Every structure is written in structure tokens, then in C-alpha cells.
Amino acid sequence: MTRIIRSLRVLGLEEEALAFYTVISQVNAVSEKSRMYWKRAATRPLNIAPHVDDEDIGKGFSGPEFLKDFEWEKEVEVKSIRDGHKPTTSKSRDESTGASSP
């Protein structure tokens, strides 16, 4: 279930991922640990795996950089659409912030 939720999000189906999570989280025959992983998959940034505990975030347990860039591009696109502009995500996250890439 965790992989399904994350896969939906990676495919750009954020609303569907949240709807799926909402439905399956209401199943009573599921452990709290499973629900915790599902919630993390539905709400955390994609570069942080659901199995990483909250206190370990930022201690070298983040995932691939491309997932950070992917989420940044989605945010830029959503903001552009809300503002009535055509989405443009040709710049990388580092280029737009002025941060240097290794």
C-alpha cells in the first residue's frame, strides 16, 4: 500500500494518492505501524522514505536529489496554474535559488 501511495504521487496523481490513503486508513484490521507508513507515504516529501523515523530526518537518510527537484517542479507548476500562468519548470531548483550544484 505504501508503494502504491508513493507511486501515485510520483506519477503526479497527488489527489488520487490522498484519496486512496484516506480510504485504506479507515480499515480496522490494519496495524498502527502500517497506518503510520501509509501516512508518511501520503504526506512526506518524496525524498524521505516512509521507514525513516522523524528524528532521523536530516541525518543522511534523505533519498535521491532528483526527488527533491521533482517536488519543487510540481510546486512551481501548481503555483503557476493558480496564478493563471502557463507552467514553466525549465530551470532547476538550484538555478532558481542561486544555490550551487556540486
Q: How high is the pLDDT of residue 20?
A: 95
Residues 7-49 have pLDDT tens digits of: 999 888 989 999 999 999 888 888 999 999 999 999 988 877 7
**What are the sequence ranges of the domains in the chain?**
1-63, 65-96
DSSP class of 86:
-
- Band of the pLDDT at 71, cuts 50, 70, 90? confident
- Band of the pLDDT at 98, cuts 50, 70, 90? very low
Q: How high is the pLDDT of residue 87?
A: 55
Q: Is the pLDDT of residue 75 over 90?
A: no
Q: What per-residue string of b and e applies to 64-75 under the rule 16 or more CB within 10 Å gives b?
A: eeebbebbbbbe
How would you class 25 by CB atoms within 10 Å of its CB: exposed for 0-12, middle for 13-18, buried for 19 or more? middle
Q: Is the pLDDT of residue 101 over 50?
A: no
CA distance 59 to 71: 20
Q: How high is the pLDDT of residue 102?
A: 46
CA distance 63 to 56: 12
CA distance 35 to 44: 14
pTM across the whole model = 0.62
CA distance 42 to 13: 11
Q: Rank 34-38, 71-75, 76-80 by mean pLDDT and report only the highest.
A: 34-38
Cell of 9: 504521487
